[in-house]
Amino acid sequence: MAMKRAASSAVRSLLSSTASTFCRNIHVPGESKKIVGVFYKGNEYAKLNPNFVGCVEGALGIREWLESQGHQYIVTDDKEGPDSELERNLSDAHVIISTPFHPAYVTAERIKKAKNLELLLTAGIGSDHIDLKAAAAAGITVAEVTGSNVVSVAEDELLRILILIRNFLPGYHQAVNGEWNVAGIAHRAYDLEGKTVGTVGAGRIGKLLLQRLKPFNCNLLYFDRLRMDPELEKEIGAKFEEELDAMLPKCDVIVINTPLTEQTRGLFDKEKISKCKKGVLIVNNARGAIMDTQAVADACSNGHVAGYSGDVWFPQPAPKDHPWRSMPNHAMTPHISGTTIDAQLRYAAGVKDMLDRHFRGEDFPEQNYIVKEGQLASQYR
């Protein structure tokens, strides 16, 4: 590994044409790299908080450090189409840093153009905006800051469960509109206590959610490929469900906590939603494309789904006429849960750490890899 990464610039073209597909992340210590970061613009908000490092202006707070080491650091929000700043910098970029909150779609075509690309880093979690198979085939390493957003997203999921079950938004609208009609809120407001909450997927975020739900005295269920360690399961107090279709009709609240893969894309279509209890509440901070967009909008309109909340859409940014913006009983926001100030500081530190290791030819923390040496991480296979 160390030898391979130490290959000089001069032999790079030779290597990339003759050696294995794992060889793109070659490296010469001390060599100047071109790093392209694609984030959302802060605009007037950029200066309001010194810890707001996740925006273009904040640039993860690593510009000074990168430039002091002789690297070039281009940061932009301009990512769509052939004239975008991302596209114009593709051909000689060594590293692209992207985020799920303003996803720079790194397609097979773009990977082909990016001849020097060694490393794709996700500032945050969730790398499905990258064509992982194409990246693997091209020998590019893909990594994210695993763990940087898990607490943020789990907290946000509990927020959304409470917003829906307690029917917060109609009350807020009344307050703003000068109204006072308790019945208009109370007739469909419930306590969370005593309800059945099921998570589809119980990875790190799902587990943190279940832990936060425990004092609410709910009936907690989880569906996943693997059952938790019995000790942990007992501590968390959730019951394992072997079959998704067996869990769905039991749940008053369903939370999606599974990555977007070929298996989960469009999983919640009309048929799957019809298996849920009438009046179910659904929270999805995972990925928008796990749901069939129109099926969700229809189920909210006909009342089968009594409330839907999440911060993920397909595509992102959501178009102005995305049906989830106007369907009844939604509590949607733009993609935000994993980019709190606290999360930004965590993923900025994680990106800096991985860049530093990359420059030194060192491995990343194992759990950060999404594509390593041509292999996809297990959750993306």
Annotated binding site: 125, 149, 204-205, 224, 259-263, 285, 311, 335-338
Q: How far apart are CA 307 and CA 235, in angstroms?
A: 30
The two beta strands, 369-372 and 141-144, are: antiparallel
Nearest to 16 by CA among 143, 115, 95, 89: 115
Helix, strand and coil in the chain, % to nearest 5: 40, 15, 45
Beta carbon nearer to a copy of itself, 190 or 240: 190
| β-bridge mates for residue 284, sequence order | 256, 310
Q: Least Å distance between CB 161 and a copy of itself?
A: 9
Site for a copy of itself in 97-116 (CB under 8 A): 101-102
- Chain-centre distance of CA 83, in angstroms? 26
Beta carbon nearer to a copy of itself, 30 or 178: 178
Q: How far apart are CA 89 and CA 18, in angstroms?
A: 26
What lies within 8 Å, CB to CB, of 10 at 6+ separation is none
Nearest to 258 by CA among 180, 301, 307, 205: 205
Taking phi over 0 as left and psi of -120 to 50 as alpha, with beta for the rest, 196 belongs to beta
284 binds a copy of itself (CB under 8 A): no
The two beta strands, 280-284 and 253-256, are: parallel
Q: Which of 12, 27, 71, 149 is catalytic?
A: 149
Site for a copy of itself in 132-171 (CB under 8 A): 151-152, 155-156, 158-159, 162-163, 166, 168-169, 171
The reply to whether 335 belongs to the active site is yes
Q: How far apart are CA 345 and CA 102, in angstroms?
A: 17
193 binds a copy of itself (CB under 8 A): yes
**How many residues form the binding site for a copy of itself (CB under 8 A)?**
74
- Token look-up 């072997």 returns 242
Q: How far apart are CA 147 and CA 183, in angstroms?
A: 42
Residues in the chain: 381
Q: Least Å distance between CB 1 and a copy of itself?
A: 36
Angle at 200 between CA 197 and CA 206, to 5 degrees: 80
Site for a copy of itself in 303-342 (CB under 8 A): 311, 316-318, 320-321, 324-326, 330-337, 339-342
The reply to whether 344 belongs to the active site is no
| β-bridge mates for residue 279, sequence order | none
Contact pattern for a copy of itself over residues 54 through 83, marking x by CB under 8 A: xx----------------------------
The reply to whether 381 belongs to the active site is no
302 binds a copy of itself (CB under 8 A): no
Beta carbon nearer to a copy of itself, 90 or 164: 164
Tokens at 304, concatenated: 């089968």
Member of 1, 6, 11, 186 binding a copy of itself (CB under 8 A): 186
The reply to whether 149 belongs to the active site is yes
Question: Can the peptide bond before residue 323 be classed as cis, meaning omega within 30 degrees of 0?
Answer: no
Site for a copy of itself in 31-50 (CB under 8 A): 40-43, 45-46, 48-49
Residues flagged as binding site for substrate: 125, 149
347 binds a copy of itself (CB under 8 A): no
Member of 1, 6, 108, 182 binding a copy of itself (CB under 8 A): 182
128 binds a copy of itself (CB under 8 A): no
Beta carbon nearer to a copy of itself, 120 or 213: 213
Member of 20, 91, 107, 181 binding a copy of itself (CB under 8 A): 181
Q: Least Å distance between CB 177 and a copy of itself?
A: 8
Site for a copy of itself in 223-282 (CB under 8 A): none
Question: Can the peptide bond before residue 365 be classed as cis, meaning omega within 30 degrees of 0?
Answer: no
Q: Least Å distance between CB 352 and a copy of itself?
A: 19
Catalytic residues: 149, 287, 316, 335
